[in-house]
Amino acid sequence: MLSHHELLQLKRWNTPTIYNGWEQITQRDPAASGFNIEETRDFMPQMGPMVGYAVTCVIEPSSAAHKRHRNAASEYRRYVAEIPGPKIVVVQDLDKPQVIGSLWGEVNANTHRALGCVGTITDGAVRDLDEMTNAGFKAIARRLCVGHAHAMPVRWGCEVEVFGRKVQPGQLIHADKHGFLAIEPEAEAQLLEAARFMDTNECRTVIAAARESFGKNSTDLLDALDAAGTAFADAAQKRFGGGRGEIR
């Protein structure tokens, strides 16, 4: 796992910037892996990005049958407590596309914050939005709702699928108003350096060329942009190889 100071540095950038670094180092298809497929909604964009390791949970608020497992909530909390933080709770709602109830509200936000969790990603709903914000617990979800119905942990510590992406327990997650990126373990060690390099590479080449356009005629500007694009790609190729130094 990355150190806390490395996670804090990752939190300084938005999720697209982290993606730009990740795509240089991943062995997976950067068009078919890692990020959410369906649209997410960040209900606390003012809190900025969140970074943490996934703890996973499945709920089905429409079914009262799960309440037969009286110790489920306690056992689930013990699972969460055993995982090093910071943690992001990734919750799959089996009622999707319906929204019957929410696992999240003022109580669970404060409880999970005490257990070292910084926020949640759920393809269901959240409620008590102001109270969750006051607890410092970020929520990325599909929508808001009024009640909790029969929401409680059904399974935990298992693979879940949210917003079209499968997430494994323990995966590093970076998330903000754009969506989320679930990073495979073998890419973690290089992620911070790669994101930092690609951000600097953009600033030195393609962004600088675009910002320094004043006084140039169209021919000179286009030539400068072409040269900057080549410099950007060459720098990425030299640093990472693999031919993924595309301009975005």
Q: What is the pLDDT of residue 246?
A: 55
The residue extents of the domains of the chain are 10-33+184-248, 36-183
Partners of 57 in the β-ladder? 91, 156
CA–CA distance, 177 with 174 (Å, rounded to integer): 11
Residue 97, preceding peptide bond in cis (omega within 30° of 0):
yes
Averaged over successive runs of 10 residues, the pLDDT of the chain (248 residues) comes to: 94 97 95 95 97 98 92 96 96 97 97 98 97 98 97 97 97 98 96 97 95 93 95 94 58
11 DSSP 8-state letter:
T
First to last CA, the chain: 29
Superfamily of the domain at 36-183: Ribonuclease E inhibitor RraA/RraA-like (3.50.30.40)
Phi, psi (rounded to 5 degrees) for 108? -70, -30
The two tokens of residue 207 are 């962004």
Task: Please give the model's pTM, rounded to 2 decimal places.
Answer: 0.92
Q: What is the pLDDT of residue 248?
A: 52
Q: Tokens 């959240």 sit at which residue?
A: 126
